[in-house]
């Protein structure tokens, strides 16, 4: 059950309309790192979660993300207020109105005309929101890591949006939303490390022959080593060793076929075999302006 409180979680105070800025703000409304994507990601995880603590946390954060969607949506609408009336009532000459809503040099006129200066579920480039943004896989240790990364990405987008505006009220509201991404990331990290063990994700252990191997396949100028690829926890393969099949095999793919299957494959191979002799004449040569190719095409 959901109940809507008509007060925003954070008060939105916009100093002046700015359609171009409104268009950029849509990135956190209908974009892949935005609030709707986060709310849906955590809500679907909560539905399937069997641990009562994680389930409660996910429902709490999913619901808060909806309140953040409301905050960012109100920022978009407030920034569009000036253009909305002008666009609807046609009080300015066409050229002046177009100049007004494109003053920031971006495609805000698209969302103005198509969506009436509202808050559509699209990103800042006008791409519609998609459920493909939701990457829940149903394994807590994998989903929590994805959630941590999602909160980090959202924080970075908010930082960039803050750097785009000098409107103090918008900056404050975006700063609040950015800070809540930090708090959520911390909750997800605590929940992840409360699962012991939590690495590797899932139940099955890795093959010990390969789980400690680092294969240095990008060799040459600029090569670096560090704790991510060298040290006591790694068996490092360099040079020719890095190009050798790590399982000790010959590196060739094979399959066992029945006699009937092999006979049909041999028949197909014989029918589609390339001739090794002669030089076939092609349509490219017949229609070419290259003298050498024309000469070849004219030979009997």
How do residues 102-113 score in pLDDT, each as one tens digit? Answer: 555 555 545 554
pLDDT at 237: 94
pTM for this structure?
0.82
Reference 158, options 181, 139, 188, 140; nearest CA is: 181
pLDDT at 298: 64
pLDDT at 94: 47
Cα distance between residue 79 and residue 75, in whole Å: 6
Cα distance between residue 183 and residue 260, in whole Å: 63
- Each residue's pLDDT tens digit in the chain (300 positions)? 899 999 999 999 999 988 888 889 999 999 999 999 999 999 999 999 999 999 999 999 999 999 999 999 999 999 988 655 555 555 445 445 555 555 555 555 455 545 566 888 999 888 999 999 999 999 999 999 999 999 999 999 999 999 999 999 999 999 999 999 999 999 999 999 999 999 999 999 999 999 999 999 999 999 999 999 999 999 999 999 999 999 999 999 999 999 999 999 999 999 999 988 888 888 888 888 887 776 665 665
pLDDT at 117: 67
Is 144 within 8 Å of 191 (Cβ atoms)?
Answer: yes
Reference 61, options 75, 44, 48, 74; nearest CA is: 44
Q: How many CA atoms lie within 13 A of 5 on its CB side?
A: 10
pLDDT at 281: 81
Strand pairing class (213-215; 235-237): parallel
pLDDT at 30: 95
């Amino acid at each position: 059950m959901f109940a809507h409180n008509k007060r925003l979680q954070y008060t939105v105070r916009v100093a002046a309309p700015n359609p171009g800025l409104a268009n950029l703000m849509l990135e956190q409304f209908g974009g892949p790192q935005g609030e709707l994507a986060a709310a849906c990601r955590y809500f679907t995880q909560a539905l399937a979660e069997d641990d009562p603590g994680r389930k409660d946390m996910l429902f709490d954060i999913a619901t808060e993300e909806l309140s953040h969607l409301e905050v960012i949506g109100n920022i978009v609408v407030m920034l569009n207020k000036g253009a909305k009336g002008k666009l609807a009532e046609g009080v300015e000459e066409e050229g002046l109105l177009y100049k007004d809503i494109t003053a920031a040099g971006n495609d805000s006129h698209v969302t103005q005309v198509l969506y009436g200066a509202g808050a559509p579920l699209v990103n800042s480039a006008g791409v519609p929101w998609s459920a493909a943004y939701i990457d829940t896989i149903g394994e807590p240790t994998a989903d929590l890591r994805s959630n941590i990364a999602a909160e980090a990405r959202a924080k970075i987008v908010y930082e960039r949006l803050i750097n785009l505006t000098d409107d103090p009220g918008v900056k404050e509201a975006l700063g609040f939303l950015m800070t809540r991404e930090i708090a959520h990331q911390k909750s997800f990290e605590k929940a992840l490390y409360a699962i012991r063990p939590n690495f590797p994700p899932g139940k099955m252990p890795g093959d010990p022959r390969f789980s400690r191997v680092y294969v240095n396949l990008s060799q040459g100028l600029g090569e670096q080593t560090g704790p991510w690829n060298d040290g006591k926890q790694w068996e490092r393969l360099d040079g020719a060793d890095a190009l050798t099949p790590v399982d000790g095999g010959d590196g060739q793919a094979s399959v066992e076929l029945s006699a009937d299957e092999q006979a049909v494959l041999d028949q197909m191979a014989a029918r589609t075999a390339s001739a090794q002799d002669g030089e076939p004449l092609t349509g490219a040569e017949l229609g070419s302006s290259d003298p050498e190719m024309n000469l070849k095409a004219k030979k009997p």
